[in-house]
Amino acid sequence: MSMIKKVGVLTSGGDAPGMNAAIRAVVRAAIHNNLEVVGIRRGYKGMIDGDFIPLVSKDVSNIIQRGGTILGTARSEEFRTVEGRRKAYGNLVGANINACIVIGGDGSFQGAGIFSKEYDIPFVGVPGTIDNDLYGTDYTIGYDTALNTVVEAVDRIRDTASAHDRMFFIEVMGRGAGFIALHSGIACGAEAILIPEVDGQEEALHEYLKSQGNKSSNIILVAEGNNVGGAEQIANQIMVKYPEYDVRVNVLGHMQRGGSPSAFDRFLASRLGVASIDALIDNQRSIMVGFVNHDIVHVPFNKTINASKNLNKILLDVADILAH
């Protein structure tokens, strides 16, 4: 720890509500521990380009409530190369940056893990992704806000679905995980939920539609990575097979990634941001700070990258029971 005097902080990968709250926490926790802080703009691309800005406490005032990220984010193919990482290392050394906090998802942590093996600069990760698909933490920054965004949107859509006796297929984000679809589906009373973790969903959906009789007002939530197809594709098949249903499609898309973070995401980001600085002070490296059972945990990068985070199977039963 005696070697660490200046910490770099970056946001990487997809943006998530609460990233600014995490940046704020990292900066103020570092200053509290007599460390300098440098913001690295545009993720690993900014590290390669040397796009650094000093950050002091006033620079992160009035950002806890803002969505997006004041540091910007970008994906960098160059950082995947040995040459790109060598250039990034040279810039960090030139700026006297001794350690880095990366706020992002598994791809961001994978890059950080490789980099810290090649060069003697410790990295600590803060989980920031709306998908909530990182092993080793109950919640990721942005997930709770995304859930609330989906529920609000579905509530509005249900009003018009009921008024016109329509069936809506609503596609939500999540990459290859169904956390957003399952949890928001239960919260908004969806009649069916299609997620990547469950097989045989197409047959189950057809059985459900056959059993509905005259009920044509339905909300079907579709996780973007499910094994049946996108909302548009599934809806087209249903319209052909069940012409009696008045079917509509709505893809919520990137609206789920924006907006002011919820109270919980602000709280989570603040705790994890402070914990990331504490981890560096404790000589930790190549770990993610996670939140499990309302407590802080340290999870090695290789574990959170390679291990799968499983859905709570009980929630599948809950969704099925409440949909009928």
C-alpha 50 chain-centroid distance: 26
- SS3 label, residue 211: helix
What residues does 172 pair with on adjacent strands? 223
Q: Which two tokens stand for residue 150?
A: 């989906």
CA 81/CA 76 separation, integer angstroms:
10
Of 15, 106, 131, 144, the active-site residue reads 131
Residues 42-58, buried b or exposed e (16+ Cβ, 10 A)? bbbbbbbbebbeebeee
Determine whether 317 is an active site residue. Answer: no
Burial class of residue 266, CB neighbours in 10 A (0-12, 13-18, 19+): buried
Q: How far is CA 16 from CA 129, 145, 300, in A?
A: 5, 9, 22
What residues does 299 pair with on adjacent strands? 288
Percentages helix, strand, coil for the chain (3-state, rounded to 5) are 45, 20, 35
* Sheet architecture: strand order including 166-172: 192-194, 218-223, 166-172, 246-251
Listed in sequence order, the residues at least 6 apart from 68 whose beta carbon sits closer than 8 Å to its beta carbon are 15, 17, 19, 20, 258
Q: What is the set of active-site residues? A: 131
